[in-house]
A and B are shown apart, each in its own frame.
Chain A
């Protein structure tokens, strides 16, 4: 069970138990967001470290307009983007314009397995990994926070520093792109099965 959220006063006072509670509550989410963006364990751990250190150092600037959690995710998101931009092999566009309407779905076949069965399928899991890796980072972050972490649209908007409308646009596009990618594999397999004698 997670400990109760520590008060901002106890954190500012340097209470070690408050820091431990903050870490216990939020470290995994910070890690998953960073790992989701960077796809590298060590880099994600470095972001966790940097995020908590930076947050504790700048506690005076925390105004309480958002929750401590979304404040931490925002620090982690920015730290992850900074690292991504520093990778010479995969430069991000400086400020990606909001994407327009996503293309209409093309793969229109039912999948042949339930999600539970798909999870046991090694090739299926590889396809999941490939799908999320090809998603632009800004869309990936919105998808991770909304659909994996199950934050609200408002919390996601605060974490990413964008409007709620922009979260919805990014999430919608992310879902359709991921679905299309997976449908090429799971749908094609289902179609193949139907054709078998």
Chain B
């Protein structure tokens, strides 16, 4: 496997989606290619960084207000006063 092929399979490698043969080929390449190893490492770091920083849900003060509005809109629909 060369660098270009490794990059092509990188996401599947990270997600454990490669066939056994491709996985072994990828690991052999990674063991000897520092650049591809850096790309693998920093891609994994990228995923962790976004996973950790993009987990904020609905702001607490807005959550119950939003649900309240939804209940009201549903009630209006049920009673036929709301929009169709």
Interface readout for A82-113 with B: 1 if CB under 8 Å, 0 if not?
Answer: 00000000000000000001101101111100
Interface centre among A53, A119, A153 (most CB of B within 10 A): A53
Could you tell me the dominant secondary structure of chain A's interface residues? helix
How many contacts A-B (CB < 8 Å)? 111
Q: Which chain A residues lie closer than 8 Å to B28 at the CB level?
A: none
- Decide: B57 and A27 in contact? CB cutoff 8 A: yes
The one of A19, A20, A41, A178 in contact with B46, judged by C-beta atoms closer than 8 angstroms, is: A178
* Bound-state Cα–Cα, A104 to B38, Å: 13
Does A49 interact with chain B (Cβ within 8 Å)?
Answer: yes
Known: A19-B74, A27-B58, A104-B7. A179 touches B42 (CB 8 A): yes
- Decide: A111 and B53 in contact? CB cutoff 8 A: no
Q: Which chain A residues lie closer than 8 Å to B15 at the CB level?
A: 153
* Bound-state Cα–Cα, A125 to B18, Å: 32
Q: Which chain A residues lie closer than 8 Å to B59 at the CB level?
A: 41
Interface size class for chain A? Answer: 35 or more
Could you tell me the dominant secondary structure of chain B's interface residues? helix
- Decide: A48 and B58 in contact? CB cutoff 8 A: yes
* Bound-state Cα–Cα, A68 to B26, Å: 38
Chain A residue nearest to B34 (CB atoms) is: A108
* Bound-state Cα–Cα, A18 to B39, Å: 46
Q: Which chain A residues lie closer than 8 Å to B24 at the CB level?
A: none
* Bound-state Cα–Cα, A132 to B17, Å: 25
The one of A16, A110, A172 in contact with B42, judged by C-beta atoms closer than 8 angstroms, is: A110
Does A139 interact with chain B (Cβ within 8 Å)?
Answer: no
The one of B10, B47, B52, B57 in contact with A31, judged by C-beta atoms closer than 8 angstroms, is: B57
Does B25 interact with chain A (Cβ within 8 Å)?
Answer: no
* Bound-state Cα–Cα, A137 to B36, Å: 27
Chain B residue total in the interface (Cβ 8 A): 42
Q: Which chain B residues lie closer than 8 Å to A57 at the CB level?
A: 77
Known: A19-B71, A27-B66, A49-B70. A105 touches B48 (CB 8 A): no
- Decide: A104 and B47 in contact? CB cutoff 8 A: no
Interface readout for B30-72 with A: 1 if CB under 8 Å, 0 if not?
Answer: 0000010011011101111111111111110011001101110
Chain A residue nearest to B51 (CB atoms) is: A148
Q: Would you give 10 A-B contacts (Cβ < 8 Å), ordered by A?
A: A53-B70, A53-B74, A111-B42, A118-B49, A119-B49, A128-B50, A128-B53, A172-B12, A175-B10, A179-B46
The 6 closest A-B pairs by CB, nearest first: A28-B57, A172-B11, A179-B46, A115-B48, A108-B35, A31-B58
